[in-house]
Structure 1
Amino acid sequence: MRTTVVGAGIAGLATAWALTRRGHQVTLIEQGTIPNTLSASGDHHRIIRRAYPADSGYGDAISEAYSAWNELWRDLDRSHYDPRGFMCISRELGDEAEIYLAGMDAGGWQYDLLQPDAACERWPFLDRGSFRYAFQSDDGGALHCRRIASDLAAWLREHGCVILEQRRVDAVDCDAGRCHLADGATIAADQVVITAGAWVAKLFPDLSQRLAVHRTGVVYLDPPTDLVEAWSRAPVILDVGGATDGYIIPPSGQGGLKFGAGAHRYENADPDRAREPYEGEGWDILNLFAPPIARISEYEITHTATCVYTFTSDERFFMERRGNCVIVSACSGHGYKFGAAVGQHVAAALENGDFARLERWLLGDRP
């Protein structure tokens, strides 16, 4: 089977990997370089964790995601996963940290529950009087995105996948399986997989109502000198509680200490425009973290970066089949951790034609 994959974020790379190792002919087209630092998969590091709400099928699917990553590490002959664990902080009754804690209980997963005094003794960067409790699990950490992309691209080339970088697809004929490129070239295949992320609505404008593009940002920091050691051994922080929808990744791989918040986002964004941070954007993001992070004014901003994501109303994956084309999009930035497993499921659906099963899995529907 000849397959064209449009977009070399983690979903596109993993789909090309899964198809190539099954013996199919694959052409992977990326509008930028690999890794593309403007894509949702182009940052230094992303979180993987066990915690999901108790009623979410993603809590079951994450076990499969861990297994898929292990298969990928074996193929690459190296791992780009830092298993430093994860932590959640609860500041309000019923906040996301509390929802995740209930999910850990429902799944029977182990964790340490710490009251504020004990948490601050372990992690002195926390503001003691600003939160209800924290919990830590060893079952999570950071995935090193750029290293994954670089090594996957190298593996794909070594195993016969054709990779076209800096080649933009302008249109897709789904029935004919043809991709029309901006330079006038046409790529034909039996099947086309669209994993174009925030650019998907540029190819299929009718999807813009169901796949809204939001722009957000992250800020990289140097902490106060006396907190450097504490951050170096800290787990990733999945949620800082309250309404911030904030996450933190300590220094890991090539990436420094990073803060990002769902509360800092703008709707109806164009992924090709307004990508430079505005003046003061880093501080706008950083100030969302006080509380529960203490001494925010003493942190030094080293770099601010913007990100673009597709969002659905229910913040689940999106999939649609059109002719000989399948469109797959992660939503709200939570898709990276499932990337290797997404590729395996898309490849299986292309082989067996069971796209209904693929959609159920992507939506996190329980069997």
Structure 2
Amino acid sequence: MISYDVVVVGAGVEGSATAYTLAKNGQRVLLLEQFPLPHTRGSSHGQSRITRVAYASDDHYAIMMKESHMLWRKLERESNTSIFENCGYLSAGTPDDPFIKDTITSLRTHGVKHDVISHSELQIKYPMINVPAEAIGVLDHSGGILKANKALYAFQEVFKRHGGTINDGEQVIQIIPGDVITVKTSKSTYQALHVVITVGPWAHKFLSSLGLHLPMKVVRISVHYWKEKWSGQYSMQKFPTFMYGKVYAMPCFEYPGHVKACLHDGPEIDPDDRDAVNTNDVTEAVRKYVSEHLPGLETVPSVTETCIYTMTPDRQFILDNHPEWKNIIIGAGFSGHGYKLAPIVGKVLTELVLNKEPSYDLSRCRIRRFLPPKHQL
């Protein structure tokens, strides 16, 4: 039986970032993935994700984001890979909108370069955007695009360079807790002093086998790409990443001449049967949005892809030790905003493995918030 210091279950971005950080801290690590890599069945695939520092009311994430940006740049250097495109992040809304007010407060508090843009200035600077006359814009200069697939690959390659092992196409069948944990898979059996569980949409099913029934909802996100009517209008030089209401948009990047615009929500699904739901209403909602607010785009998407969010009720992450078995560490429930924080997730989960004081306040990310009082000791 092969033994490791740590077995990480799930090779999405959070698991890969954790395995990478553990290996750099001298741990002998096995990273297991149930599907052959690369794959498109979870939450970490695709070419792009929005990144920003401002976090409105969730200021603890804004604090994390300042270091996360630096760690992304470090990964770029280590892997010799371009991961971040700094095209800015623009949010729009009325001046009394709590999201806009909190975003401005967050940017000011953390000394992040930004502009508050009046409606008339928005019309001049971004004529390809149409928002109501009472709306203003807030441009976070630190924001932009993370190249998701390249970031994931970079974590995995540097992890292997530090002695890590990745076994893909190998599903974990059972975890037997103990001072030494036994991990049974579809192909072998391993032992480890610690196990980290980062299985994305499969977290609820997986953790149930370890006696944890956490309130996570899995939703399917329809990822639409909309063709420009006039070439170059929505290029990264002219159009930042953009959020207004519950729809976000990204400049032409993945497909030439196409903007990525998606509803930040979707129908609840089983991750093993994600295509069983009808998403026509989602497509129609985004179509209406594009027609009204991004008038330089065609109103029928050229390409539609799929992603999955795993949502907690409070939209906060789960970063914690198992309540009964402290050598089992859990990262889950990233609620559609975890990708840009992957380097920090990897850092704090590593600290939990090594029994170090976490670098950040994890009180809002602890499992006990979902447990009955008798389990909160």
Tell me if both proteins adopt one fold, taking TM over 0.5 as the criterion: yes
Tell me how far apart the structure 1 counterparts of residues 130 and 28 of structure 2 sit (CA, whole Å): 54
Select 1:149's aligned residue among 149, 152, 167. Answer: 152
Measure, in 1, the Cα distance between the counterparts of 2:332 and 2:351.
Answer: 17
Matched, 1:136 2:173: no
Among candidates 227, 230, 253, match of residue 225 of structure 1: 230
In structure 2, what is the Cα distance between the partners aligned to 1:42 and 1:96?
Answer: 28
Looking at structure 1, the residues matched to 254 and 79 of structure 2 have their Cα atoms a distance apart, in angstroms, of 17
Report the alpha carbon displacement of residue 327 of structure 1 after superposing the two structures with TM: 0.9
Paired amino acid for 1:272: D
Give matches, 1:251-270, under 5 Å.
251-252=252-253, 256-262=258-264, 264-267=265-268, 269-270=269-270
> Is structure 2 residue 90 aligned with structure 1 residue 84?
no
1:170 to 155, 158, 173: 173
Q: Is the 8 A contact 1:87 1:238 kept in 2?
A: yes
Query: Residues 273-352 of structure 1: matches in 2 within 5 Å?
Result: 273-275=273-275, 278=278, 280=280, 283-287=283-287, 289-290=289-290, 293-295=293-295, 298-322=298-322, 323=325, 324-352=327-355
Aligned AA for 1:260?
Answer: C
Count of residue pairs the alignment pairs up = 356
Instruction: State the shift of 1:194 in Å.
Output: 0.3
Q: Give how far 1:320 is off.
A: 3.5
State the TM-score, normalized to the length of structure 2: 0.85
Change in CA separation of 1:290 and 1:73 when aligned onto 2, cut-off 3 Å: closer
Given candidates 63, 67, 90, the residue that maps to 1:64 is 67
* Counterparts in 2 of 1:294 and 1:209: CA distance versus 1, 3 Å: same
Q: 1:92/1:287 Cα in 2 relative to 1: closer, same or farther (>3 Å)?
A: farther
Q: Is the 8 A contact 2:131 2:293 kept in 1?
A: no
Counterpart-to-counterpart distance in 1, 2:219 and 2:99 = 21
Does residue 6 (structure 1) correspond to residue 5 (structure 2)? The answer is: no
Which residue is equivalent to 1:23? Answer: 26
**Cα displacement (A) at 1:142:** 0.6
- SS state of the match for residue 309, structure 1? strand
2:180 counterpart of 1:179: no
Does residue 216 of structure 2 align to residue 211 of structure 1? yes
Distance 1:173 1:356 in 2: 29
Q: TM-score, normalised by structure 1?
A: 0.87
Deviations 1:183-203 (A, max 9, x none): 4x2221111000101111121
Deviations along 1:304-360, one digit per CA (max 9) or x if unpaired, are 122222211211111332322111114211111110121122212212354796734
Look up the SS of the partner of 1:57 in the other structure. Answer: helix
Deviation at 1:278, TM superposition (A): 4.3
- Is the Cα contact below 8 Å between 1:5 and 1:16 reproduced in 2? yes
One-letter code of the match for 2:229? P
Higher relative contact order (CA 8 A, sep 6+): 1
2:313 alignment partner, SS class: coil
Question: In the alignment, residue 106 of structure 1 is paired with which amino acid?
Answer: T
Q: Quick check: 52-61 or 283-292, which moved more?
A: 283-292
The answer to whether the Cα contact below 8 Å between 1:54 and 1:104 also exists between their aligned partners in 2 is no
Structure 2: 5+ residue stretches without partners: 367-377
**CA-based RMSD:** 2.7
Match of 2:104 in 1: 101
Taking structure 1 as reference, are residues 231 and 281 closer, same or farther at Cα in structure 2, changes over 3 Å only?
Answer: farther
In percent, how many aligned pairs have the same letter? Answer: 23
Unaligned runs of 5+ in 1: none
Distance in 1, Cα, partners of 2:140 & 2:159: 34
Greater mean alpha carbon deviation, residues 173-182 or residues 277-286: 277-286
Q: Specify the SS of the correspondent of 1:316.
A: coil
Question: Which amino acid is 2:226 matched to?
Answer: L
User: Aligned partner of 1:246: which letter?
Assistant: V
Structure 1's 353 and 294: CA in aligned 2 closer, same or farther, altered over 3 A? Answer: closer
